């Protein structure tokens, strides 16, 4: 499969909700330049960014009510992409003067765009990231641009054992090495799960959990959920031996990848924590950890991988796999088959609130019912 074959029948995140304001935001998704803004009634609009007149990018213009006025000759386009005003003599508007409108849904604090067949644009195929907006939890997030194909980043996330090497001193522990990785698939959702009972705390966990006692073993877990094309939610945390998860430090890690093009990716990351939810410093600490770990370490190695690969895919370069690659390879194959057949993903969307109710009595995460 070539690097720039994309799954069209899928929802892609173009922005965090908070990024879309009464300004003009440009994002390039699946090689298409798009401009996003919020209408006066708060709804989000997303239209093609290339003015059909002379190709000035519309995001260099300005909002006039709910229309974008092109910064070059002042044509105005509404949120459907239609040209609705020509300020010049006569004011005639040729029928072809329009840009594409993108189907979108604002959900889970994110703007999701649809690039596929119009009749298949069902928001039910958006994976569940409702934790972002859960009033009982606290959220921090951001977006990083990486110069690498998005599937190389998926590989990274579906095998967290790289932590021991890439994030040595932060994510290394015999608790990881001694635990087993479980790969589960249901519908088009894949889990890559690691349950680490009665083990030594990972240094990052020890740092984040205020009740951590040096020398005492803990229960820890890292459950990664993947949905096509590259939408991941990690359920990760630490607590006392056999203690409720809510007594520990527990977060959802959001990792949603949106291909800008075959060699560039937006990485939407989020941390939704179930502890110290009223303490902004706990969120700020996570922001620093992410900056250090993702930008300082993963990004360096992933972009270096891409440079070594050049225009080859992993397959074309004859990469040699081993056991740890099971989840990543399963995701790659599933995605390739969805692309091939044009099938819309069918995420399982297990109930996150139910997980959290159960967590009040046990440390063990709920294994998805398969």
CB of 29 to a copy of itself, least distance (A): 15
User: Number of H helices and number of E strands within the chain?
Assistant: 8, 17
Cβ-based nearer residue to ligand FES, 10 or 314: 314
CB of 64 to ligand FES, least distance (A): 13
Cβ-based nearer residue to ligand FES, 47 or 70: 70
CB of 108 to a copy of itself, least distance (A): 30
Q: Does 53 bind ligand FES (CB under 6 A)?
A: yes
Q: Does 68 bind ligand FES (CB under 6 A)?
A: no
Beta bridge partners of 194: 181, 222
Cβ-based nearer residue to ligand FES, 45 or 271: 45
Calculate the alpha carbon distances from 248 to 132, 193, 215, 224, 280 in Å.
Answer: 19, 19, 16, 19, 18
Identify the CA nearest to 274 among candidates 170, 143, 135: 135
Cβ-based nearer residue to a copy of itself, 71 or 350: 71
CB of 47 to a copy of itself, least distance (A): 14
CB of 182 to a copy of itself, least distance (A): 11
Cβ-based nearer residue to ligand FES, 88 or 180: 88
The CA distance from 278 to 245, in Å, is 18
The residues that touch a copy of itself, with contacts defined as CB under 8 A, are 33, 49-50, 52-57, 60-61, 69-74, 86-90, 92-94, 96-97, 152, 155, 159, 161-162, 164-166, 177, 180-181, 300-301, 304-305, 307-309, 314, 317-324
According to the 3-state scheme, what is the secondary structure of 52-68? CCCCCEHHHCEEECCEE
The CA distance from 21 to 205, in Å, is 36
Cβ-based nearer residue to a copy of itself, 214 or 322: 322
Identify the CA nearest to 252 among candidates 275, 279, 218, 230: 275
Q: Does 50 bind ligand FES (CB under 6 A)?
A: no
Could you tell me the sign of the dihedral formed by the alpha carbons of 330, 293, 239, 279, in that order? negative
Q: Does 276 bind ligand FES (CB under 6 A)?
A: no
DSSP class of residue 324? G
Question: What tokens appear for 69 in the block?
Answer: 């006025």
H-type alpha helices, 62-218:
150-158, 163-166, 174-177, 203-208
Q: Does 62 bind ligand FES (CB under 6 A)?
A: no
Cβ-based nearer residue to a copy of itself, 86 or 362: 86
Cβ-based nearer residue to ligand FES, 73 or 186: 73
Q: Does 70 bind ligand FES (CB under 6 A)?
A: yes
CB of 50 to ligand FES, least distance (A): 9
Q: Does 358 bind ligand FES (CB under 6 A)?
A: no
Tokens 């060699």 sit on residue: 263
Identify the CA nearest to 16 among candidates 156, 155, 136, 143: 143
Q: Which of 73, 186, 287, 330 binds ligand FES (CB under 6 A)?
A: 73
Count the site residues for ligand FES by CB under 6 A: 9
Question: What tokens appear for 28 in the block?
Answer: 């390039």
ω before 100 within 30° of 0 (cis)? no
């Amino acid at each position: 499969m070539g690097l720039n074959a994309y799954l069209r029948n899928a929802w892609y995140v173009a922005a965090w909700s908070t990024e879309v304001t009464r300004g003009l935001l440009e994002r390039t998704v699946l090689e298409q330049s798009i401009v996003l803004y919020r209408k006066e009634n708060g709804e989000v609009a997303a239209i093609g960014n290339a003015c059909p007149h002379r190709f000035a990018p519309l995001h260099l213009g300005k909002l006039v009510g709910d229309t974008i006025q092109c910064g070059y000759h002042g044509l105005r386009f509404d949120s459907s992409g239609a040209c609705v005003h020509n300020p010049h003599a006569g004011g005639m508007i040729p029928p072809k003067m329009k840009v594409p409108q993108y189907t979108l849904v604002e959900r889970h604090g994110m703007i999701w765009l649809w690039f596929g067949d119009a009749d298949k644009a069902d928001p039910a195929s958006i994976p569940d990231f409702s934790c972002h907006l859960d009033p009982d939890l606290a959220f921090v997030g951001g977006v990083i641009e990486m110069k690498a194909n998005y599937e190389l980043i998926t590989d990274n996330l579906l095998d967290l054992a790289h932590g021991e090497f890439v994030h040595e001193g932060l994510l290394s522990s015999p608790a990881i090495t001694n635990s087993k990785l479980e790969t589960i698939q249901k519908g088009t959702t894949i889990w890559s799960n690691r349950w680490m009972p009665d083990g030594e705390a990972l240094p990052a966990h020890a740092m984040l959990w205020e009740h951590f006692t040096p020398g005492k073993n803990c229960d820890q877990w890292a459950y990664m959920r993947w949905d096509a094309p590259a939408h991941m939610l990690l359920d990760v945390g630490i607590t006392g031996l056999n203690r409720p998860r809510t007594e520990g430090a527990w977060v959802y890690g959001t990792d949603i990848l949106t291909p800008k093009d075959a060699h560039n990716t937006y990485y939407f990351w989020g941390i939704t924590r179930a502890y110290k939810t009223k303490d902004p410093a706990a969120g700020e600490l996570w922001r620093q950890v992410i900056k250090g770990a993702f930008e300082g370490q993963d990004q360096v190695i992933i972009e270096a991988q891409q440079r070594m690969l050049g225009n080859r895919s992993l397959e074309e370069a004859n990469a040699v796999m081993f056991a740890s690659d099971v989840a990543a390879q399963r995701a790659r194959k599933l995605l390739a088959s969805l692309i091939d057949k044009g099938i819309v993903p069918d995420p399982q969307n297990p109930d996150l609130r139910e997980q959290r109710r159960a967590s009040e009595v046990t440390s063990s995460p709920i294994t998805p019912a398969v």
